[in-house]
Amino acid sequence: MASRFNPFKADGHWQKIWEEQGVFNAPPASDPRPKSYILEMFPYPSGRIHMGHVRNYTMGDVLARYKAMTGHAVLHPMGWDSFGMPAENAAMEKKVHPGAWTRQNIEAMKKQLKRLGLAIDWSRELSTCEPDYYGHEQALFLDFYKAGLVYRKESEVNWDPVDMTVLANEQVIDGRGWRSGALVERKKLNQWFLKITDFAEELLEGLEGLEHWPEKVKLMQENWIGKSKGLRCTFNLVGSHDGIDVFTTRPDTLYGASFVAIAADHPLAQSLAENAPALQDFIAECKRGGTTAAELETAEKMGFNTGISVEHPLDSNWHLPVYVANFVLMDYGTGAVFGCPAHDQRDLDFARKYDLPVTRVVADGDKEDSAFYGDVAYTGPGKIVNSHWMNGLSVDEAKADVIAKAEHEGWGVGQPQYRLRDWGVSRQRYWGTPIPIIHCEFCGVLPVPRTQLPVKLPEDVSFDIPGNPLDRHPTWKHVKCPNCQEPAIRETDTLDTFADSSWYFIRFASQPDDKPFDKEEAEAWLPVGQYIGGIEHAILHLLYARFWTRALQKVGKLDFAEPFAALFTQGMVTHETYKSSAGAWLSPEEIKFEGDKAFTLDGAPVERGRIEKMSKSKKNVVDPDPMFDQYGADAVRWFMLSDSPPERDLEWSESGIEGTWRFVNRVWRLVDGLENAEGEDKALDKSLHRAIAGIAADIEALHFNKAVAKVHGLVNDIEKAAPSASRTTAIRTLPLLVAPMLPHLAEEAWVALGNKSLIAGQPWPSHDPALLVDDEVTIAVQVMGKLRDTLTVAKGSPKDALEALALASEKVQRSMDGASPKKIIVVPDRLVNIVI
RNA sequence: GCGGACGUGGCGAAACCGGUAGACGCAACAGACUUAAAAUCUGUCGCCCUUUGGGCGUGCGGGUUCAAGUCCCGCCGUCCGCACCA
């Protein structure tokens, strides 16, 4: 009667029952049990589920199922981040409508996800490209507009002159449009912005309270916000009442200044250029060249001497030249800097090139000379020198003193500066949320009246000709001004898709028809108890979502600031790569192995490459569907949880998945071969109760690999144990312990054991704390810190007894070789160390 | 350049507050069962030696300690993020 677990029957069978009974539908927000909102980052419907999704959703699923078993009201939803460029690209390439393409993909991926057997409340499924989602987003946008969190300003975009379209930075390759190959131009457009910078300080401070976020992510956000403290001060133009505003983090080096440099876009540079063709040329030169990291790094410092001078703020008789320089950025600080070459590498490079003075003002050890030699700036700490009244101060003291003096004398203020810039949300694209704004010639910029929401995307659009389909649609943009009723024009920009993902987690918790969400209901579930996703969203998505939540709080829609109480970033799923001798990538199905060497199916040699993230371009992708066909959902799930710690990368391997398949069957055989027996097996009881407690702790800590190891340990112990009542109990308990990870097998086993109800509704087994404590312990006996023997003694044996036992050991005596102990260290229940 | 993480058997990894390094799995090897194979079961599995014992061993070099994978200092390597940020 020995049988094999048949996942091909069991998977579909149980998935259907779960769905019919709505087992995983979240209870109402009024449910008195503690709430547990488990969320994985929702997918973009690209067409196929990949192994990264499988890993991500399996982890969340284990947690959600476990939380349900431990008495929580669980919300575990799923949706689709379904606006975005790939749909428009598909529309252009395949002549399909972006909506049709997207919805088809959603259907296909949903089917794949369901095969995984996820404990998801599908009744709350949402898709951001549908008006019943984005219409509410438009309402929120108008709330922000009303609260002054939205504004419009001219801003530069990458413009493809052939495709007549705006390009994202990642679509610009070597300065050319990725599709057309045309040289990209910079173009100024009026664009919408959200005032995330209003929240810069809050977003930074809020990080401290996020105890359950990875340090790494918090650090990345901190760097992105990029706060620096410094002095903003004015350098007066010689012979004029105007001045140049400068920001510096090194006011202590003010006496080492030798020039002032302004950005090419600086208003002063622009006005000077009007009558100076040479400067115009220089500014044009600065604007050429890419903005990529590599180009910037190699770009040489260039300056243009404007011929004008400014007064040093600490000494009006001291005049400094003003340059326009390519390394000064208009959008950071004030777009102007003073150069202190001795203590800033960039300034030093510039000063050496244009032969400007270099004066040391911070002592480098005992080097205090004002003359500075060499091409390496000194940026370390030291006492201030050659700086009049500041001499002898430390760098920090000098900074504080200069700021105090500037504020007292009125020529500068100490202020923080942030790297973070406002969030430009305008996209000149079709497949996104229409920005609900109307432009009237007479009344100006007006919000769309609430009663007219949602502003729906027109379905009848074409992608045959370049440009924004919304802009050239014959009727869509023509509306009446809500104010004066004269003809007016709709905004044809759509919102950045990051806006869609900035509040979806709130809509999951509460989905009324007439508003984005209900405050009370949302607050009952949120913040998300555990958010799980890829590290690639460490900055933008998570920062925008944090901002959006704070903005909602500011406009009174919600009463909490942080959307995600705990964050977990899982590692990637990787696979070895293969290349033919011609250098073409080969997929794993095109390879066979002979020993360590790989060959094509025709026998040609294959070069084995690095283990990399699965990607279509490298052809090292393993599709989940055939794995479900061959091994069933549970084996795939178990593999995803085994071995690698979840935050680390997981290498997919054929032997690995076979191993997990074997294990699933081992569990099944135990249950299948169960016989009722009598008698107690104390050791097995302990093993069981230890597993119950240990697996629970590991799942709660998201240490799935350790939980898996503990299940293995228990299964090994059960297999070795002789029949007993203890063994029968252990086998009856086992399905409960694997239920979060192997839900189909667990249901099947539960029935086989004679239970009537679903295992999904069962409580996690309780353990007896007394059984977690050993009454015997093994003690290490060391001589001079080296292990010589081990002793098994009763737990809590007194020190002197342990000492005596240790000294009596034959092995210990041999290794002491007649020497007498100088000192004996006894750590109760652990070890004895004899020092001779 | 700045910031961060990591480095343990053939491989993925465990190891709590410094207290028996290598749990658990994969691969490999030997054996049992079988006509045979698969499946399953039993066992071995860090390196070395003079093998009932002993030496060495957590990237390398030092230090603290009775005791270091774990703490401190200095290197080397790998990976990631940011970057002309004033």
Convert the pLDDT of each residue in A236-270 to its tens digit.
998 888 889 999 989 999 999 999 999 888 899 88
C-alpha distances (whole Å) from A594 to each of A302, A325, A597, A604 are: 59, 61, 5, 12
Residue (of A802, A794, A809) closest to A831 by Cα position: A802
Q: Do the Cβ atoms of A656 and A642 come closer than 8 Å?
A: yes
Instruction: State the nucleotide closest to A710 in CA–C1' terms.
Output: B24
Spanning CA of A211 to C1' of B17, the rounded length in angstroms is 21
Give the Cα separation of A77 and A74 in Å (integer): 10
Strand (E) or helix (H) holding A608: strand A605-613
DSSP at A675: -
ipTM: 0.93
**pLDDT score recorded for residue A594:** 66
Spanning CA of A253 to C1' of B46, the rounded length in angstroms is 58
Instruction: State the nucleotide closest to A223 in CA–C1' terms.
Output: B82
**pLDDT score recorded for residue A292:** 37
Q: Which residue is nearest to nucleotide B39 (CA to C1')?
A: A662
Give the Cα separation of A437 and A698 in Å (integer): 51
| A67: amino acid identity, one letter | K
**pLDDT score recorded for residue A592:** 75
Spanning CA of A492 to C1' of B7, the rounded length in angstroms is 53
DSSP at A34: P
Q: Which residue is nearest to nucleotide B20 (CA to C1')?
A: A780
Spanning CA of A785 to C1' of B72, the rounded length in angstroms is 21
Spanning CA of A574 to C1' of B8, the rounded length in angstroms is 22
Give the Cα separation of A422 and A36 in Å (integer): 34
**pLDDT score recorded for residue A1:** 38
Spanning CA of A783 to C1' of B51, the rounded length in angstroms is 22
HSE value, Cβ hemisphere, 13 Å, CA-based, for A707? 27
Spanning CA of A317 to C1' of B33, the rounded length in angstroms is 102
Is the per-residue pLDDT at A595 higher than 90? no
Assigned token pair, A350? 């510039």
DSSP at A711: H
Give the Cα separation of A335 and A263 in Å (integer): 5
Instruction: State the nucleotide closest to A658 in CA–C1' terms.
Output: B26
Which pLDDT band holds residue A606 (cuts at 50, 70, 90)? Answer: confident
What is A545-596 written as a DSSP string?
HHHHHHHHHHTTS-S-S-SBSBEEEEPPEEEEEEEETTS-EE-GGGEEEETT
- Model pLDDT for residues A671-682, shown as the tens digit of each residue: 988 888 889 998
Per DSSP, the three-state class of A446 is strand
**pLDDT score recorded for residue A730:** 95
Spanning CA of A674 to C1' of B39, the rounded length in angstroms is 20
More confident call, A68 vs A788: A68
- Model pLDDT for residues A326-369, shown as the tens digit of each residue: 888 887 888 899 999 988 888 888 898 889 999 999 888 778 88
Percent of chain A residues past pLDDT 90, beyond the cut: 51
Per DSSP, the three-state class of A394 is strand
Spanning CA of A545 to C1' of B59, the rounded length in angstroms is 41
Assigned token pair, A474? 């014959």
Give the Cα separation of A21 and A23 in Å (integer): 5
Assigned token pair, A161? 């002159």
Strand (E) or helix (H) holding A185: strand A185-194
Question: What is the distance, to the nearest Å, from the Cα of residue A645 to the centroid of all Cα atoms in its chain?
Answer: 17
Instruction: State the nucleotide closest to A815 in CA–C1' terms.
Output: B54
Instruction: State the nucleotide closest to A325 in CA–C1' terms.
Output: B84
Instruction: State the nucleotide closest to A785 in CA–C1' terms.
Output: B67
Instruction: State the nucleotide closest to A703 in CA–C1' terms.
Output: B14
Give the Cα separation of A831 and A805 in Å (integer): 12
More confident call, A227 vs A130: A130
Instruction: State the nucleotide closest to A811 in CA–C1' terms.
Output: B53
Average the pLDDT over each of A125-134, A179-188, A383-392, A699-708 and give the range with the smallest value. Answer: A179-188
Give, in degrees to the nearest 5, the angle at Cα A46 between A544 and A99.
90
**pLDDT score recorded for residue A215:** 86
**pLDDT score recorded for residue A763:** 96
**pLDDT score recorded for residue A489:** 95
Give, in degrees to the nearest 5, the angle at Cα A799 between A795 and A803.
110
Q: Do the Cβ atoms of A264 and A283 come closer than 8 Å?
A: yes
- Model pLDDT for residues A281-315, shown as the tens digit of each residue: 888 877 665 443 334 445 678 888 988 999 999 99
Average pLDDT over residues A64-93: 93
Percent of chain A residues past pLDDT 70, beyond the cut: 96
Average the pLDDT over each of A308-317, A432-441, A564-573, A816-825 and give the range with the smallest value. Answer: A816-825
Residue (of A428, A445, A426, A427) closest to A437 by Cα position: A445
- Model pLDDT for residues A500-554, shown as the tens digit of each residue: 999 999 999 999 999 999 999 999 999 999 999 988 888 889 999 999 999 999 9
Instruction: State the nucleotide closest to A823 in CA–C1' terms.
Output: B66
**pLDDT score recorded for residue A5:** 83
- CB-based burial of residue A666 (10 Å sphere; 0-12 exposed, 13-18 middle, 19+ buried)? middle
Give the Cα separation of A707 and A684 in Å (integer): 18
Assigned token pair, A690? 């230890």
Rg of chain A over CA atoms, in angstroms? 34
Sort strands A228-236 and A597-600 into parallel, antiparallel or unpaired: unpaired
Average pLDDT over residues A88-114: 92
Return left, alpha or beta for A307; rule: phi > 0 is left, psi -120 to 50 is alpha, else beta: left
For the entire predicted model, the pTM comes to: 0.90
Phi, psi angles (nearest 5°) of residue A200: -55, -50
Give the Cα separation of A118 and A65 in Å (integer): 9
Is the per-residue pLDDT at A171 higher than 70? no
Spanning CA of A777 to C1' of B18, the rounded length in angstroms is 20
Q: Which nucleotides of B are covered by protein (CB under 7 A)?
A: 3-5, 12-15, 19-21, 23-27, 39-42, 53-56, 66-68, 80-86
Cβ count near A25 (within 10 Å): 17
Q: Which residue is nearest to nucleotide B23 (CA to C1')?
A: A709
Q: Do the Cβ atoms of A245 and A231 come closer than 8 Å?
A: no
Spanning CA of A638 to C1' of B40, the rounded length in angstroms is 21
Is the per-residue pLDDT at A174 higher than 80? no
Instruction: State the nucleotide closest to A777 in CA–C1' terms.
Output: B20
Give the Cα separation of A769 and A694 in Å (integer): 12
**pLDDT score recorded for residue A584:** 79
Give the Cα separation of A543 and A536 in Å (integer): 12
Spanning CA of A685 to C1' of B84, the rounded length in angstroms is 66
**pLDDT score recorded for residue A293:** 34
Is the per-residue pLDDT at A159 higher than 50? yes
Q: Do the Cβ atoms of A768 and A726 come closer than 8 Å?
A: no
Average pLDDT over chain A reads: 89
Residue (of A436, A446, A556, A450) closest to A492 by Cα position: A436
Instruction: State the nucleotide closest to A656 in CA–C1' terms.
Output: B26
Which pLDDT band holds residue A649 (cuts at 50, 70, 90)? Answer: confident
**pLDDT score recorded for residue A408:** 93
Spanning CA of A733 to C1' of B19, the rounded length in angstroms is 35
| A297: amino acid identity, one letter | E
Q: Do the Cβ atoms of A420 and A226 come closer than 8 Å?
A: yes
Spanning CA of A461 to C1' of B5, the rounded length in angstroms is 48
**pLDDT score recorded for residue A560:** 96
